[in-house]
């Protein structure tokens, strides 16, 4: 898997001292776990040095005490997923729209559904939930129960 190994090599070289966990389960797939503080730097690196221009989507998952945020990119034929984690008590991530403008709607969606706060987002309005939905209630969090009628 030449391309995937090359990307892994480059990432390890650029960020090796920070000890990122890189996983290549098969061809066309690469997963990298990074600390949330390094997010912008790594996305910037992917764009500048690996020719990455396309973001596929952003997933957010409630895993108990933390919220995991996954950024799915696509470059050089490989679907690269950046995994970060923020504490549920203070769920703030940086916006990557200055680097990748196409991420604008995905960041609004994770704000709605999981209550993440995307710092400096150019347009932080509600996207998918109805206007009369209660503030502070995030449907995709574990503690949100669907009431049986």
Partner 1 sequence: MFKGLTTWSRVKSPWVCHLNTGSCNGCDIEILAALMPRFDVERFGILLKGSPRHADVLVCTGPVTRQVKNRAIRIYEQMPEPKFVIAIGSCACSGGVFWGCYNVLGGIDQAIPVNVYIPGCPPRPDAIIYGVIKLLGALDPRYIELLEELKRKGEVSASGE
Partner 2 sequence: MAYTIPIGPQHPALKEPANLAVTVDGETVVDVDLRLGYNHRGMEKAAQQRSYIQNIYLTERICGICSMAHTTTFCQGVEELLGLEIPKRGLFIRTLVCELERIHSHLLWLGVAGHELGFDTLFMYTWRDREIVMDLLELVSGNRVNYGMNTIGGVRRDITDEMRTQILEGMQPLEERSHYYLGVASSEATFLRRTEGVGMLPKEKAIELCAVGPTARGSGVEYDVRRDDPLAAYPYLDFEVITSDRGDVLGRTVVRALELIQSIKMCRQLIEELPEGEVRVKAPRKVAPGEVVSKNEAPRGEVIHYIRSNGTDRPARLKVRAPTMANFPAVLYSLKGGYIADIPIVLAAIDPCFSCTDRVMIVDSKHSKRKQVMSWEELRQYGIRWYGEKD
Kind of pairing between the strands at 66-75 and 21-23: unpaired
Q: Which helix (H) or strand (E) holds 100?
A: none
Smallest separation (angstroms) from partner 1 to the CB of 144: 8
Name which position in 25, 64, 130, 136 contacts partner 1 (CB under 8 A).
130
Report the C-alpha gap between 25 and 87 in whole angstroms.
27
Applying CB under 8 A, which residues contact partner 2?
26, 28-29, 31, 53-57, 59, 61, 70, 72, 74, 77, 79, 81, 100-106, 113, 126-131, 139-140, 144, 146
Name which position in 131, 134, 135, 143 contacts partner 1 (CB under 8 A).
131
Report the C-alpha gap between 140 and 96 in whole angstroms.
22
- Determine phi and psi for 132, rounding to 5 degrees: -95, 15
Complex with partner 2: residue 16 or 29, whichever CB lies closer = 29
Smallest separation (angstroms) from partner 1 to the CB of 143: 13
């Amino acid at each position: 898997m030449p391309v995937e190994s090359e990307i892994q090599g480059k990432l390890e070289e650029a960020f090796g001292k920070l000890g990122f966990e890189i996983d290549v389960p098969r061809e066309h797939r690469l997963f990298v776990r990074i600390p949330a503080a390094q997010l912008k730097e790594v996305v910037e690196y992917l764009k500048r040095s690996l020719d990455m221009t396309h973001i596929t989507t952003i997933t957010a998952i409630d895993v108990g005490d933390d919220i995991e945020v996954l950024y799915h990119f696509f470059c050089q034929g490989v679907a690269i997923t950046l995994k970060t984690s923020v504490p549920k008590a203070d769920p703030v991530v940086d916006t990557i729209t200055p680097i990748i403008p196409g991420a604008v709607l995905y960041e609004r969606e994770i704000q709605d559904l999981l209550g993440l706060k995307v710092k400096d987002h150019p347009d932080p309005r509600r996207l998918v939930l109805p206007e009369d939905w209660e503030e502070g209630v995030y449907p995709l969090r574990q503690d949100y129960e669907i009431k049986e009628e």
